[in-house]
Chains A and B, each alone.
Chain A
Amino acid sequence: MDDFKHCAYLDPILTRFENRSDYLVQILREAQDCFGYLHQDAIDYLATKLNLPRARVEGAASFYSFLHLQPPGRYRVLFSDNITDRMLGNQALMERFCRNLWVEPGKPAEDGLVSVDFTSCTGMCDQGPALLVNGHVLTRMSVERVDRISELIRGKVALTDWPHEYFVVADNIRRRDVLLGGDWQAGEPIRAALARGADGVLAEMKLSNLRGRGGAGFTTAVKWESARLAPCQGERAERYIVCNADEGEPGTFKDRVLLNSYADLLFDGMTVAGFAVGATKGLVYLRGEYRYLLPKLLANLERRRIDGLLGTTVCGQVGFDFDIEIHLGAGAYVCGEETALIESLEGKRGVPRVRPPFPVTRGYLGQPTVVNNVETLCKAATIALNGGAWFAGLGTKQSTGTKLISVSGDVEVPGIYEYPFGVSVDRVLNDCGAGNAQAVQISGASGVCLAVHEFGRRIAFEDVPTAGAFMVFGAHRDMFEVARNFSHFFAHESCGFCTPCRVGTALVAKLMDKVASGSGSQYDINEIVSLQRVMQAASHCGLGQAACNPVMDTLQKFRPAYERHLRALDFEPSFDLDESLATSRQLTGRDDSGAHFGQ
């Protein structure tokens, strides 16, 4: 085995991660950064050094979309393929790009220069179509940009020498309320929390009635208290605060903005949570697509250490030690599910765990762990500062506070809008300049699709709950195609653990393609409905349970969009049932209604 050249770059990585196998995903990611892909020798070497079965290393590497066991092109180009990218013409751009460079999607060019493929929503819906090139995000693609990029690649120009403006990601904040409009100094929420004491913070959290902003809407104070009361286990006995910055739900990009411009508030929130829960360590799970934010976030953490906001004796509070580290994801939507996220943090395939036990009792490394969304933690920081009553005074009774909404699609002003909970869909549509919307997909692919007659409904846990996505579809859009795009998203992102989702999502995507090709009938639609019942009932996690939501919603509300594609509205049998009874009628001498079908 020629592990010579591989150990040269692997050894420093292994040293940095202390040869800990629970850092496997991070180690693999960095190894790939050095060598371009994960060479067989590198897999062998890592397995030996980390004392893991080789098949486990290979199994983990093969789980993540952004890790490669085969050499991809030297320029790995991935076109973001959310429905919003499609509406902005990503398919034509990709075709053009492929023609420019004589390359086929999914197959590296023969000279190894470039490979092209689609990837799931990159969280740039307000400034798409977007691309990832060697993991770096490029926004606002156009014919000119795609042509220029083709030239840059042909000329083997280093990514660092590409036009800077291609890499600009704008915040696009359009409406500020108490969170985005607030003005706080880094560390202020921590000092306020220390003054209140851990019990005081928990009391304010309860009073605030803050509910999770990641989708499930679980009461944050209950989570924190459960983790605080849960005993730690074994040798490395400590509690953890995990920030879920995986933001993979198509159409959602508000955490991107918080991470970019409100990172101090997030880190304050994590530290406040650590103080209230009795945790000593915080982990941010940052989706791979947002790695461009990593240097800035790491610099921020370093500054906070220098300022005494992290490390030992945080803000001078003797006995309160807290630090934060950042893990990068590697292209797997399911890792946003909190237990899959924890598995990934532990260096494994991102497969959701059996629950119970829940993370608050046994999470990261088996220890009590709080998993919260980025926005939830930012809100917690403001509660530590301003108190629970202040927060509870905003929004509605059951949905306190404000919500960040990521608006994209057929609107004049896409971007981030912050509203108190209870805002009507109509109001948001008005504010963002959605002229002739026929539908809004709320909370992403796994959320709900609202039609015009439902635009009076309100964004709130008690009416239309949301993790933040708000994708608008104008009257000219084919809602069947919207659902088909989402069905492929789920098939691509299913972790494959359980039968109903693994096979069901693939079958539904195939059936939707059949309908799209014009050879589907009502029978195929019925099959989808029947699959949906099984997937919703029997899937192991929310991904499979919700995977058919977009199809079911659009089937119900935009039936004609489907019927346009169907070859036959009903299954057409090749024989006539009533006619086949004619002989029996003759033999029995009956001709009453009971002797006929369908009468």
Chain B
Amino acid sequence: MTTGTMLIDGVPVSFEYGQTIMEAAMAAKIFIPHLCHHPEFTPQGSCKLCTVKASGRYVSACTMSAKDGMEVENNTPDLNDKRRTLLQMLFVEGNHFCPSCEKSGNCMLQALAYELEMLSPRFEQFFPNRPVDASHPDFLLDFNRCILCELCVRASRDVDGKNVFALAGRGIHKHLIVNARSGQLADTDFSLQDRAAHVCPVGVILEKRKGFAVPIGQRQYDETPIGQQMDELAARSAKAEE
């Protein structure tokens, strides 16, 4: 196994050839903000929260291979400022009412907003019309909160072999659909055992009758900021998130 070394914010980080900047950073317990990345799945590079500067160029840490001698800027005011804007974009694109969301405290979008000190949504809200799908006996889909990270798409396709989820539309009208003519989750073969049932980083795919099992205030990101949970983030593949 060949290895190399790069610098992330001046700190030497060693990596194995073929690893991405994100993978190497995670292994070294360096936090690079991310939403669409998940250690268990093929990187896709769409949320752009992981944007870093590598040898002077902006790149996505989750898809860019680490190279020997690479100098990576990560935790800088410029990058965090851009990431904050990206978060604000995601907040206004959907309908996010954190106080009434079952995922509050366990939500990566919300946790990153705290981590990156996002104080307001800043831009005019889009208020898209995205009806909730409550057809399935065990699951509720609240599309209002979908950030289009495609983790459910990848999990269902690559792990479950089911292709329950897919994307439709283009541009700002892009949205998640399920694999049924009716458009209803109940008419798919989605089940509690699916990996896709447990990967959503925000509050779209929610198990029914399990609401507020852990009180708000004591949830994953309530107690410790996401930026200090490197072990948990790296171990996400080992356990099914709740």
Interface residues of A (CB under 8 A from B): 40, 43-44, 53-56, 58-59, 62-63, 65, 332, 349, 354, 356, 491-500, 502-507, 510, 527, 530-531, 533-534, 537-540
Given known contacts A534-B86, A538-B51, A492 and B166 CB-to-CB distance under 8 angstroms: no
Across the two chains, which residue of chain A brings its CB closest to B92? A503
Distance between A522 CB and nearest chain B CB, rounded to angstroms = 16
**B168 and A62 contacting across the interface, CB-CB below 8 Å:** yes
Q: Are A59 and B45 in contact (CB under 8 A)?
A: no
Interface string of B147-170 (1 = CB under 8 A from A): 010000000000000011111111
Report whether B163 and A56 are in contact in the complex, using a CB–CB cutoff of 8 Å.
Answer: yes
16 A-B pairs in the complex with CB atoms less than 8 angstroms apart: A55-B165, A55-B166, A58-B168, A63-B170, A349-B167, A349-B170, A496-B169, A498-B46, A499-B46, A499-B86, A499-B89, A499-B90, A502-B174, A503-B89, A503-B93, A537-B51
Task: Tell whether, in the assembled complex, residue A494 and residue B170 are in contact, meaning their CB atoms are under 8 Å apart.
Answer: yes
B48 within 8 A of A: yes
Judged by a CB distance under 8 angstroms, whether B191 is at the interface is: no
Interface check B173, CB cutoff 8 A: yes
Question: Quick one: which of B90-139 are within 8 Å of A by CB?
Answer: 90, 92-93, 123-124, 126
Q: Is B82 an interface residue (CB 8 A)?
A: yes
B209 within 8 A of A: no
A507 contacts which of B49, B63, B65, B123 (Cβ < 8 Å)? B123
* Chain B contacts for A40, CB-based, 8 A: 181
> Provided the pairs A354-B63, A531-B85, A538-B51 are in contact, do residues A496 and B90 lie with their beta carbons within 8 angstroms?
no
**B46 and A497 contact, CB distance less than 8 A:** yes
Which residues does chain B contribute within 8 Å of A499, judged by CB atoms?
A: 46-49, 86, 89-90
Q: Within residues 61 to 89 of chain B, which ones have a CB less than 8 A from any CB in chain A? A: 63, 65, 82, 85-86, 89
A166 to B48, CA, bound (A): 47
User: Please, which residue of chain B has its CB at the minimum distance from the CB of A334?
Assistant: B170
CB distance from A302 to the nearest CB of B (A): 35
Which residues from A are CB-within-8-Å of B172? 491, 494, 496, 502-503, 505-506
Question: Which residues in A have their C-beta under 8 angstroms from that of B180?
Answer: 54-55
- Give the Cβ gap from A588 to chain B, nearest Cβ, in Å: 30
CB distance from B230 to the nearest CB of A (A): 23
Could you say which of A500, A503, A539 has the most chain B C-beta atoms within 10 Å of its C-beta?
A: A503
Given contacts A40-B181, A55-B163, A56-B166, contact A502 B85 (CB under 8 A): no
The answer on a CB contact under 8 Å between A540 and B46 is yes
When distances are taken between beta carbons in the complex, the residues of chain A under 8 Å from B60 are 354, 540
Q: Which residue of B lies closest to A40 (CB)?
A: B181
Residues of B near A505 (CB, < 8 A) are 171-172
Contacts of B63 in A (CB 8 A): 354
Please give the distance in Å from A362's CB to the nearest CB on chain B: 15
Residue from A44, A510, A530, A540 in contact with B48 in the complex, judged by beta carbons closer than 8 Å: A540
Q: Which residues of B contact A534 (CB under 8 A)?
A: 82, 85-86
Contact call B46/A55, Cβ cutoff below 8 A:
no
CB distance from A225 to the nearest CB of B (A): 23
Contact with A along B174-214 (1 / 0, CB 8 A): 10011111000000000000000000000000000000000
- Mark interface residues in B47-63 (1 if CB within 8 Å of A CB, else 0): 11101000000101001
Nearest neighbor of A62 in chain B, beta-carbon distance:
B168
Asked if A510 and B124 make an inter-chain contact with CB atoms under 8 angstroms apart, the answer reads yes
Q: How far is the CA of A63 from the CA of B168 in the complex (A)?
A: 6
Give, as a whole number of angstroms, the nearest-CB distance from B177 to chain A. Answer: 5
B169 touches A354 (CB 8 A): no
Shortest distance in angstroms between B93's beta carbon and chain A's nearest beta carbon? 5
Q: Top 9 closest A-B pairs, CB basis? A: A496-B174, A55-B166, A53-B163, A503-B89, A55-B179, A506-B172, A494-B171, A62-B168, A537-B58
Chain A CB within 8 A of B5 CB: no
| B179 in contact with A53 (CB, 8 Å) | yes
Most chain B beta carbons < 10 A, residue from A505, A506, A538: A538
Contact A491 B171, CB 8 Å, known A498-B48, A506-B126, A537-B51 = yes
Q: Which residues of B contact A500 (CB under 8 A)?
A: 48, 86, 89
Q: Given the complex of chains A and B, what is the CA–CA distance between A250 and B54 in angstroms?
A: 33
Measured between C-beta atoms, what is the minimum distance from A523 to chain B in Å? 11
Query: Which chain B positions have C-beta within 8 A of A506?
Result: 126, 171-172
The yes or no answer to B44 lying at the interface (CB within 8 A) is: yes
Scoring B48, B163, B170 by chain A CB atoms within 10 A of each residue's CB, the highest score goes to B170
- Return A245 CB to nearest CB of chain B, in Å: 21
Q: Which of A43, A44, A497 has the most CB of B within 10 A?
A: A497
CB-based nearest B residue for A536: B58
Closest to B179 in A: A55
- Alpha-carbon gap, A53 to B51, bound state (A): 32
Docked-complex contact A495 and B181, CB < 8 angstroms: no
Q: A531 to B89, alpha carbons, bound, how many Å?
A: 10
What is the bound-complex CA distance between A531 and B165, given in angstroms?
Answer: 31
CB pair A354–B181 under 8 Å, yes or no, is no
Query: Roughly how many angstroms separate A502 CA and B172 CA in the complex, as a whole number?
Result: 5
Q: Establish whether residues B173 and A496, one from each chain, have CB atoms under 8 Å apart when the complex forms.
A: yes
Residues of A within 8 A of B49 (CB): 499
Chain B residues with Cβ under 8 A from A54's Cβ? 179-181
Q: How far is the CA of A504 from the CA of B93 in the complex (A)?
A: 10
- Assuming the contacts A55-B166, A59-B177, A499-B46, asked whether A504 and B89 have C-beta atoms less than 8 A apart, the reply is yes
* B residues near A65, Cβ cutoff 8 Å: 170
B177 contact from A58, A492, A493, Cβ within 8 A = A58
Which one of B44, B86, B167 has the highest number of Cβ atoms from chain A below 10 Å of its Cβ? B167
With A and B bound together, what is the CA distance between A538 and B165 in angstroms? 26
Q: How far is the CA of A54 from the CA of B172 in the complex (A)?
A: 22
Docked CA distance A537–B56 (Å): 11
State whether A62 touches B45 (Cβ < 8 A). Answer: no
Known: A58-B177, A59-B167, A494-B170. A354 touches B86 (CB 8 A): no
- Tell me which residues across on chain B come within 8 A of A495, comparing CB atoms: 170-171
- 14 extra interchain contacts, Cβ-Cβ under 8 A, other than A63-B168, A500-B48, A504-B89? A53-B163, A56-B166, A59-B168, A62-B170, A349-B167, A354-B43, A492-B171, A496-B148, A496-B169, A496-B174, A498-B47, A499-B48, A502-B148, A507-B89
**Cβ–Cβ contact A530 & B85, under 8 A:** yes
* CB nearest neighbor in B for A57: B166
A59–B165 CA distance with the chains assembled, in angstroms:
10
B171:A55 contact, CB within 8 angstroms: no
Residues of A within 8 A of B93 (CB): 502-503
